[in-house]
Amino acid sequence: MVPEILDPVILSKDHAGTLNRFLMPKAESSLVLLSNAILGGLEFRGEIFQGTYAAYLEDDAITGVAAHYWNGMVFFQAPENPAGLFHAVVSASCRECTGIAGPYEQVQRVLPGILKENRLPAMNSRDILFSLNLDRLAIPDLLQRGDVTCRCPADDEIPAMIDLRIAFMRELTGPDTRASLEDEAGEIVRYQQQTNNHWVLETGRKIVATSAISAGIPELVQIGGVYTRPEYRNRGFGRAVVAGSLLHAGARGIRKAILFTGTDMPAAQKVYTALGFRPVGEYGLVIF
C-alpha cells in the first residue's frame, strides 16, 4: 500500500504545543527549531528569530516540520518528504532561501532540487552532532592559570565581537561573505550581549577566542560561534573557551550541551571529545 502524501499546513501560534510535542523527543537535532519557536513564536513579523513554519499534520499530530527564518535559513525535522516541506514553506514565506540545515540525511534529500536552480553553495558541511552532560565536563588545566580568563564581553567590546563573528563566518563560507550575513552577525552578537550568552577567552589583556550559545531551551543549549584568532591557534584556547562557557551555563542550571563540527575536521573533533562530548548523530549545514 502506497503511503498517503500529506499536504503541508502553515502553522500558527495555536500549534505551539503540538510542535513542541513533536520536537522534544528529537531535541538534540531540533534545537534551533525549538529555541526559535520559543523566542519568536510561530508567526513571522520580520523580527530576529521569527519564521514561517510548514508541517505535516496527521490526526492532530505533527510528523514533520520546516521553518524559514528571518535570515533566510530553512531548518528541518522531517523524516518523510522534507523536500515537500521545503517548497511549501518557501512558497508561503515569499522570501529568499539563504541556506538549509537539519539532520544530514534530510538535508541531502532537499539539496538536489535546490542545486537544479544552479545555486552553488558557499558551504556544504557534513557535521558530527556531539552531546555532553555537563556533569561530565572535563575542565582543561589551561583554565586554572591565573593569566587566562573566560568572561562575558563588555558593552564597548561589541564592535570587536561583531568583527570576530564576521571573521568566523568568512572562514566557513569564504572571503566573499554576502552582506546579509554580516548584518546577521551584528544582530546575533547584540542579542547575545543582551542575554549574556557569549564569552571571550582573554590572556595578556587580549581576546584570543570566543564561544556562544546559539540556541537553547531549559536545561539544553547549543554551543556555536567557536572561533580562535589564527595567530593563537594550537595552544588550547578554543578548548578552554568552550569549557569556560559551559561552566557559566552550568551555573545557570543548564544540564546538557550540543555542538557540531565537520566530519573533515579531526582537530576540532579531538578538542570536543577531550572535553567529554560524544557523537550522537550527523547534521547538515548548507549556506548559499
Tens-place pLDDT, residues 25-43 = 999 999 999 999 999 999 9
CA distance 48 to 58: 30
Q: Which uninterrupted H or E stretch holds 23?
A: helix 16-23
Predicted confidence at residue 90, as pLDDT, reads 97
Per mean pLDDT, which range of 22-26, 65-69, 78-82, 140-144 is the poorest?
140-144
Distance between CA atoms of residues 222 and 37, nearest Å? 15
User: Is pLDDT larger for residue 19 or for residue 169?
Assistant: 19
* Average pLDDT of span 10-24: 98
Share of the chain above pLDDT 70, in %: 97
Q: What is the DSSP letter of 95?
A: -
Q: Measured between alpha carbons, how far is 275 from 138 in angstroms, rounded to an integer?
A: 5
Grid coordinates given for 50: 521569527
Model pLDDT, residue 1:
39
pLDDT digits (tens, 9 = 90+) for 70-101: 999 999 999 999 999 999 999 999 999 999 99
Residue spans per domain, the chain? 9-120, 131-282
Give the architecture (CATH level 2) of 131-282. 3-Layer(aba) Sandwich (3.40)
> What CATH code is assigned to 9-120?
3.40.630
Domains 9-120 and 131-282 equal at CATH topology level = yes
Task: Read off the pLDDT of each residue in 43-52 and give the average, rounded to a whole number.
Answer: 96
Residue 3 confidence class, pLDDT cut points 50, 70, 90: very low
- Which one-letter DSSP state was computed for residue 204? T
Grid coordinates given for 188 = 546575533
pLDDT at 51 over 80: yes
Q: Please identify which residue in the block is written with the cell numbers 577567552.
A: 201
| CA-derived radius of gyration, the chain | 19
Which range of 37-51, 113-127, 142-156, 164-178 scores highest in mean pLDDT? It is 37-51
Cell 515569499 belongs to residue: 94
Task: With a cut of 50, say whether residue 274 has pLDDT above it.
Answer: yes
Per the prediction, the chain carries an average pLDDT of 94
In three-state secondary structure terms, 163 is: helix
State residue 2's pLDDT score: 36
- Averaged pLDDT, 235-247: 96
